[in-house]
């Protein structure tokens, strides 16, 4: 529909960026035009509600409450094992409205995302004691990692005058064609994930410099007083540093044609070294959570994104894309040196809205919040029947948007929960005619014996996310 999109991968090839043969197959480095979540039958968005909820028949065990805010999880008295189980979930429609409690017979499953899930835990008294004390929330269980390790994708645009028609031009024309579903459903999807060797002349040297900065970074940049959180910062930092010398995308490039008379090449960092936090400063669950992202607190992030901007400019001069682009309008020719680019980035960088890691799957000694079963049972006994199943559990960032990984962790959570509460399967073994039939119980999936390590579960989630079909049509 827009020929400039077809110019994307040939132009990347011209500057040494190969095309990704199968970006949904586990290796997405290179250029491609992504699949999109559009139902081809009616050109409507396909997403979690339309995919998972809408097809369901009426069922007595599902109620979806809109315009309702979870105010806290209620915990009971300590049992003989030392656990303090969740007994209810409290919610309300407003700060002054009545509080309603749903009683819990089995578990609470938190799926509030990287901001919502820690918010609920903190208002329930689960989290760092210093945060809870300051907010005036009674401590139920001290868990320093709640809200910590926050990471996000940051992006910046390089804008050019457009010599060709853009989607923004069509949309603002008001023509009959502009109202067609195929036009209204257009999404920018020309993408490339760029590894460090295509960003830096000396990627190995950059990796060494970043590794050498670990100790000073851990001593200065962690927004927590707890040693566990510092250890988690180090573990995440080391995992992120190792990716620099691997064939893993450090920067995402995205071709955007949604603005009238403008074509943009957006660069976004994928594996930030900066870690922030979210926390509460009030006992009211209706007050917004405080987000302290610590963007660009680590200089490596600035360097990576700067190189992404340079590559975007190089790409703009490559044929055939160059034929569709006029003059660069932002940042423009007056921003040329590294220092000038860095200063410009500080003023324009913005989130891609991909936060994660605020309830990380890490050991408790590293500020972890959940274990391999998505529970905090092995870390803090008082919340044994509370699970978290959303993007907050991922301890490291992805070279990807978070939709597919989040669906994957939800699917894994479903498997874990079904395994726990499903009755043991029975099998009948029939022997020869002169022997009696023998019925036995298959105990390979005992309720309390889900043998998954955190590493294996996380690897499975990543594999599921990279191999699932992202273009959903239900």
Helix (H) or strand (E) holding 219: helix 214-220
Q: Per this entry, what is the length of the chain?
A: 474
Radius of gyration of the CA atoms of the chain, in A? 25
Q: Could you tell me if 239 and 201 are in contact, meaning their C-beta atoms sit under 8 angstroms apart?
A: no
Phi, psi (degrees; rounded to nearest 5) at 257: -125, 25
- Annotation marks residue 401 as catalytic: yes
- Annotation marks residue 445 as catalytic: no
Burial class of residue 138 (count of CB atoms within 10 Å of its CB; 0-12, 13-18, 19+): exposed
Q: Could you tell me if 9 and 32 are in contact, meaning their C-beta atoms sit under 8 angstroms apart?
A: yes
Distance between CA atoms of residues 268 and 270, nearest Å: 6
Question: How large is the angle between the packed helices 203-212 and 227-242, nearest 10 degrees?
Answer: 170
Name the active-site residue from 298, 401, 445, 455.
Answer: 401
Name the active-site residue from 271, 354, 378, 455.
Answer: 354
Distance between CA atoms of residues 39 and 50, nearest Å: 10
State the CB neighbour count (10 A cutoff) for residue 54: 9
Distance between CA atoms of residues 305 and 351, nearest Å: 13
Q: Could you tell me if 262 and 162 are in contact, meaning their C-beta atoms sit under 8 angstroms apart?
A: yes
Q: Could you tell me if 140 and 124 are in contact, meaning their C-beta atoms sit under 8 angstroms apart?
A: yes
Taking the CA atoms of residue 42, residue 43, residue 47 and residue 50 in that order, the dihedral angle to the nearest 10 degrees is -20
- List the Cα angle 88/90/92 in 5-degree steps: 160
Name every residue whose Cβ is closer than 8 Å to that of residue 236 and which is 6 or more positions away in sequence.
149, 151, 275, 357, 360, 395, 396
Distance between CA atoms of residues 382 and 375, nearest Å: 11
The dihedral built from the CA positions of residue 56, 57, 59 and 62, taken in this order, carries a sign that is positive
Instruction: Report CA-CA distances (Å) from 11 to 252, 266, 374.
Output: 15, 15, 43
Distance between CA atoms of residues 248 and 265, nearest Å: 20
Chain-centre distance of CA 286, in angstroms? 24
Token pair 């405080």: residue: 290
Q: Could you tell me if 35 and 24 are in contact, meaning their C-beta atoms sit under 8 angstroms apart?
A: yes
Q: Could you tell me if 1 and 182 are in contact, meaning their C-beta atoms sit under 8 angstroms apart?
A: yes
The closest of 195, 219, 220 to 207, measured between CA atoms, is 195
- Here the tokens at position 23 are 């970006």
Give catalytic residues, as residue numbers: 354, 401
């Amino acid at each position: 529909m827009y020929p400039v999109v077809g110019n994307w991968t040939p132009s990347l090839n011209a500057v040494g960026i190969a095309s990704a043969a199968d970006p949904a197959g586990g290796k997405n480095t290179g250029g491609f035009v992504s699949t999109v979540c559009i139902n081809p039958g009616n050109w409507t968005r396909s997403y979690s509600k339309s995919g998972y909820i809408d097809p369901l028949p009426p069922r007595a065990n599902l109620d979806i409450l809109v315009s309702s805010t979870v105010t806290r999880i209620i915990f009971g008295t300590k049992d003989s094992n030392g656990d303090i189980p969740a007994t209810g979930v409290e919610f309300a429609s407003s700060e002054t409205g009545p509080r309603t409690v749903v009683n819990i017979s089995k578990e609470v499953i938190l799926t509030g995302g990287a901001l919502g899930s820690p918010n609920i835990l903190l208002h329930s008294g689960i989290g760092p004691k210093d945060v809870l004390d300051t907010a005036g929330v009674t401590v139920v269980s001290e868990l320093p990692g709640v809200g910590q390790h926050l990471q996000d994708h940051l992006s910046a645009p390089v804008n050019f005058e457009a010599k060709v028609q853009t989607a923004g031009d069509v949309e603002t024309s008001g023509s009959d064609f502009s109202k067609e579903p195929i036009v209204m459903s257009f999404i920018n999807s020309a993408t490339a994930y760029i590894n460090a060797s295509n960003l830096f002349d000396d990627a190995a040297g950059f990796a060494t410099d970043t590794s050498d900065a670990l100790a000073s970074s851990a001593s200065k940049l962690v927004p927590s007083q707890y040693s566990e959180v510092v250890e988690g910062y180090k573990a995440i930092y080391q995992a992120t540093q190792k990716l620099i010398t691997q064939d893993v995308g450090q920067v995402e490039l995205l071709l955007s044609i949604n603005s009238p008379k403008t074509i943009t090449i957006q660069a976004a960092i994928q594996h930030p070294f900066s870690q922030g936090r979210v926390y509460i400063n009030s006992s009211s669950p209706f007050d917004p959570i405080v987000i302290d992202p610590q963007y660009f607190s680590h200089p490596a992030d600035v360097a990576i994104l700067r190189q992404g901007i340079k590559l975007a400019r190089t790409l703009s001069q490559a044929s055939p894309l160059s034929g569709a682009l006029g003059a660069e309008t932002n940042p423009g020719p007056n921003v040329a040196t590294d220092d000038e680019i860095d200063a410009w980035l500080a003023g324009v960088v913005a989130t891609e809205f991909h936060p994660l890691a605020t309830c990380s799957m890490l050991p408790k000694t590293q500020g972890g919040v959940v274990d391999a079963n998505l529970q905090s049972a092995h870390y803090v006994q008082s919340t044994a029947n509370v699970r978290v199943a959303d993007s907050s559990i991922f301890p490291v960032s992805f070279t990807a948007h978070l939709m597919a990984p989040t669906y994957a962790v939800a699917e894994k959570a479903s498997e874990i929960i079904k395994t726990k509460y499903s009755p043991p399967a029975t099998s009948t073994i029939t022997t020869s005619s002169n022997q009696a039939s023998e019925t036995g119980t298959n105990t390979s999936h005992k309720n309390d014996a889900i043998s998954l390590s955190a590493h294996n579960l996380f690897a499975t989630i990543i594999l599921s996310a990279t191999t699932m079909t992202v273009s959903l049509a239900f």
